[in-house]
A and B are shown apart, each in its own frame.
Chain A
Amino acid sequence: MIGPLKTLSVLFLFSLVSLVGCADRVPVQPAPSTGTVFQQPLSEVQNATRNALTHLGFAITKESEEYIEAVHLKPGETVEDNDSELVGIWFKPRESSVLVLTHTALRPSGIAKQREWDQAIISRIMQELP
């Protein structure tokens, strides 16, 4: 009785590990308390964010009024074939300011070569703003 149960468990575990390997990383919107407020119009903050991402080596893959998603590309990598971090940046316009939230989603594979980019992105946005 134990033999078949163990075999089933191993099979189940194997399929579970395969599924986890297939799961895509997606940035998760962090809590508003973790964000940074910029006293600038939304369009200025969006432009500064695009420039900041490009300066840090990110290719912008998704863009809307409220969200930018970008992947960090090392030399030779492409958006389609890379082993790098994915960042999500949310814009929450207030009356005369914009709350910016960032989150770095790391890949399950090659995690040692990856890093959290949130602080670097915010610092670069500050530099890019007029």
Chain B
Amino acid sequence: MNLHSRLFSLLFPIFLPVLFYQVLPAEAAQGDPAPQASLDHNPVYSVTAGKSVPVSVTFADPREIAEMRLYFKTMAADEYLFLPMTISGKVTYTASIPPAGNWTKGVDYLLLRKNTRGEVRKTKPFRLLIQNDFSASPPSQGEIPVQTEHRVSQAENLDFAVPLRVVMTTEPLLAEAVEDPYPPITVPGPGSGRSSGGMLGGPGGVSFSIKAGGIGFTYRSFSGQ
């Protein structure tokens, strides 16, 4: 074995990870040529009928954001309405979904962002559960101005507890927006029975018994699995 071969065999294992490190980010970059400003949004899961729903989103670097919109529709409606989101503070955009009426059941909403390079992205739609509340007095707000990208039937807006004044937008963005993937979640596997705390099995599919000092204790699954 000559000197070059020896040097190669010695240095190859060292350079191999470096090579991969160089190649992998380049490949990843091909799939996503323009990295997007990462957003932080805590979904709203439920609300009682008659209450408006403040929705906020926070950006690490909001300088990249040119426009933010909050799209919403009742689950029975076909087309989304939207409200522009306004920046409050330095990094947070907010807008409120108008109050839904009793029996609306659910409202879908999503967040759309346009960056300073003109790229448009949207989140997956979030489902908001509307719980009936017949004891509350109707909201006293007047007409709420909202915008739309399609001609919507007035009947679609009757599920809201306040009248909406719908105006056609001159700049539709929803159809061209690229949808974000689902945020990562933990999907329970088959028969795992793991608890999120990780200390003991969850109530599904777990059973154990302990006997110590003459005292016995049994823990059984509540799931009936």
Interface residues of A (CB under 8 A from B): 5-6, 8-10, 12-13, 16-17, 19-20, 22-31, 50-51, 53-55, 57-67, 69, 73, 75-76, 78-79, 88, 90, 103-108, 111, 116
Contact = CB atoms under 8 A, between A and B. Distances in A.
Given A57-B129, A59-B129, A106-B203, A26 B194 contact: yes
A79 B137 CA distance: 24
B86 interface: no
B101 interface: no
A108 B194 CA distance: 15
B182 A64 contact: yes
A61 B196 contact: no
Contact of A25 (B131, B133, B190, B204): B204
B197 A30 contact: no
The 5 closest A-B pairs by CB, nearest first: A9-B213, A28-B204, A54-B106, A26-B202, A59-B45
B13 interface: no
Interface of B: 45-46, 75, 105-106, 124, 127, 129, 131-133, 182, 185, 187-197, 199-205, 210, 212-215, 217, 219, 222-225
A67 B185 contact: yes
A19 B223 contact: no
Interface of A is mostly: mixed
Given A16-B210, A66-B187, A23 B129 contact: no
Contacts of B197: 22-24
Contact of B129 (A10, A24, A29, A58): A58
B182 A108 contact: no
Contact of A75 (B124, B127, B131): B131
Contact of B124 (A13, A61, A63, A108): A63
Residue among B187, B199, B210 with most chain A CB within 10 A: B187
A26 B204 contact: yes
B214 A24 contact: no
Residue among B190, B192, B210 with most chain A CB within 10 A: B190
11 contacts: A6-B213, A13-B212, A23-B202, A26-B202, A27-B188, A67-B185, A79-B46, A105-B222, A105-B223, A106-B223, A108-B203
A13 to B, nearest CB: 6
A59 B46 contact: yes
A11 to B, nearest CB: 10
A9 B215 contact: yes
A58 B130 CA distance: 10
Contacts of A55: 105
Contact of A13 (B75, B132, B217, B225): B217
